Amino acid sequence: MRNRILGCIALLAVFATANAQNTDEVQLKKIYDEALTNGKAYHWLNHLSNQIGGRLSGSIQAQQAVDYTKMQLDSLGLDKVWLQPVMVPKWVRGVPEFAYFETTPGITTDVPICALGGSIATPQQGIKANIIEVNGIQELSKLGREKIEGKIVFLNQAMDATEINTFAAYSGCSGNRYLGAKEASAYGAVGVIVRSLNLRLDDYPHTGSMSYDDLPVADRIPAAAISTNAAELLSTSLKLNPEIKFFFKQNCKQFDDVQSFNVIGEITGSTYPDEIIVVGGHLDSWDLGDGSHDDGAGSVQSMEVLSLLKKTGYKPKRTIRAVLFMNEENGLRGGLKYAEVANTNNEKHIFALESDAGGFTPRGFSFSCPPENLKQAQGWATLFEPYFIHLFVEGYAGADINPLKNDEIVLAGLRPDSQRYFDHHHAENDAFEHINKRELQLGAASMASLVYLFDTYGITVAKDK
């Protein structure tokens, strides 16, 4: 008899699990169907990209993006929508940069460059000097002051094409951009030209943040990125004639910090309102393109998560917030402020998901969390298979949510296909025409599905089992 009862209980448990599995399957299908047929993310992004454009922190466009996304969140019938004040840096590019190299006096070749974000200007008349090529900052010490002083340093390290995950290739040489000016200045360089972080050969210079760190103002030198095609041409020309002179001129400027905002929308949890789930992207972008992939995509996908949960009739047990962070690109002030306020208010965040790797076809998620929670997420992998979502791996989650990290939160990042991302990253061609509606919407649906699962099961399930 006891065996029979145990058998029945076991059978009931199987049914319960099968039933839960089935409920989850049904909910995911609802989410994906809604995203692919009536999703709003693409429409929102069209406005952000084509009506507003590049949204550098402190710019009028950044404020317009705050106003627009707040208005759209207001229209979703959420429980709460608000702006979280945050002071942000304001760096302005100024008039378009200009550069050429001179092989013999009077014979010049114009090359496309752009100032790196945070760089100082050149003197008004520009800088003209000999230029010395090195592969990366790690090679500066080999040359030493003797060979570098008075020259412009040309950091020409190419991204490693054999990395399948292009973000790994990016990490492999982003130090040249971020610290090149500081490092080259120590050897007496008068300027820095960095090869654009782009796996493709083309004519777009790619900007991005750089830092002088604690370098005294007097020692700071201007830094710019050069397109990959021009980098190749310059490198070849230097091999033929090491005496080439390089000229560049830029009048970018750092202003005082200005007021800006994170934009936040919330569905308050029905059962555990104090357990908070965040889904986010960053609203600011670089100024050269319209910021469609970086990170208009993540912003509208995060808004879409709330919209999809509402439109599929799902009532979250926990509080779910979409946070559009300000100033990821050149300061991370929004991410830091959000974590600071959460901390001050003793808020308990259990899960945060960021989308900041482009609006391409989603391939899965990377998790920064205890092993048992990664295992919990991997347990849902079969639910995602019909949507061709295969990656549930350990890894970096995202810059904006990283300040929330502690032992009790699961951080995750959407992992879209990365092959095309650095063709567009921080360049003029990060433009809406390179967004595919279905890919963008599939990303939003994947995020909403993972949020649904963490909301339904919480993050302690794996430990309880």
Binding its own copies (rule: CB under 8 A), the pick from 391, 396, 456, 457 is 391
Q: Pick the closer one to its own copies by CB: 95 or 164.
A: 164
Backbone Cα Rg of the chain: 25
Pairing of β 348-354 and β 410-416: parallel
Tell me which residue has tokens 């399930």.
461
CB of 36 to its own copies, least distance (A): 5
Place of tokens 């340093």: 153
- Scanning 250-258, 321-329, 344-352, 433-441 for contacts with its own copies by CB under 8 A, the matching segment is 433-441
- Cβ–Cβ under 8 Å, residues 397 and 437: no
∠314-321-262 over CA atoms, to 5°?
A: 150
Q: Does 453 bind its own copies (CB under 8 A)?
A: no
Token digits of residue 392 = 């549930």
Candidate residues 417, 456, 457, 461; the one interacting with its own copies per rule CB under 8 A? 417
**For this structure, is 408 an active site residue?**
no
b (16+ CB within 10 A) / e for 440-452: bbbbbbbbbbbbb
- x/- mask, its own copies, residues 354-373, rule CB under 8 A, reads -------x-x----------
Give me the catalytic one of 328, 329, 354, 428.
Answer: 328
| φ, ψ for residue 370, nearest 5 deg | -60, 150
Residues 6+ apart with CB under 8 A from 279: 302, 305, 306, 320, 321, 322, 323, 352, 353, 354, 355, 447, 451
**Is there binding between residue 420 and its own copies (CB under 8 A)?**
yes
Alpha helices in 84-240 (DSSP H): 140-148, 166-171, 174-185, 228-240
Instruction: Single out the segment in contact with its own copies by CB under 8 A; choices: 13-21, 31-39, 92-100, 448-456.
Output: 31-39
Count the residues in the chain. Answer: 465
Residue closer to its own copies by CB (options 147, 438) is 438
Tell me the per-residue interface mask from 312 to 351 with its own copies, x by CB under 8 A, - otherwise.
Answer: ----------------------------------------
Scan residues 237-256 and list those touching its own copies (CB under 8 A): none
For residue 56, the one-letter residue type is L
Note whether 32 binds its own copies by CB under 8 A: yes
Q: Any contact of residue 396 with its own copies (CB under 8 A)?
A: no
Which of residues 32 and 351 has its CB atom nearest to its own copies in the complex? Answer: 32
Residue 437 binds its own copies, judged by CB under 8 A: yes
Q: How far is the CB of 30 from its own copies (least distance, A)?
A: 10
H or E element in which residue 76 lies: none
CA dist 283 and 293 (Å) reads: 11
Per DSSP, what are the bridge partners of residue 442? none
Q: Which of 161, 219, 382, 460 binds its own copies (CB under 8 A)?
A: 161
Q: Considering beta carbons, is residue 181 or 435 the nearer one to its own copies?
A: 435
Stretch that binds its own copies, among 107-115, 157-165, 262-270, 369-377 (CB under 8 A): 157-165
| Whether the Cβ atoms of residue 385 and residue 326 lie closer than 8 Å to each other | no
When the beta carbons of 88 and 308 are compared against its own copies, the nearer one is 308
Amino acid at 319: T
List, in sequence order, the alpha helices (H) in 260-412: 297-311, 333-344, 371-378, 381-384
Instruction: Among 372, 439, 456, 461, indicate the residue that binds its own copies (CB under 8 A).
Output: 439
If binding is defined by CB under 8 A, does position 199 make contact with its own copies?
Answer: yes
Residue 232 is a binding residue for its own copies (CB under 8 A): no
Residue numbers annotated as active site: 328
Could you list the residues that contact its own copies (CB under 8 A)? Answer: 32-33, 36-37, 161-162, 164-166, 199-200, 361, 363, 386-388, 390-391, 417, 419-420, 423, 436-439, 442
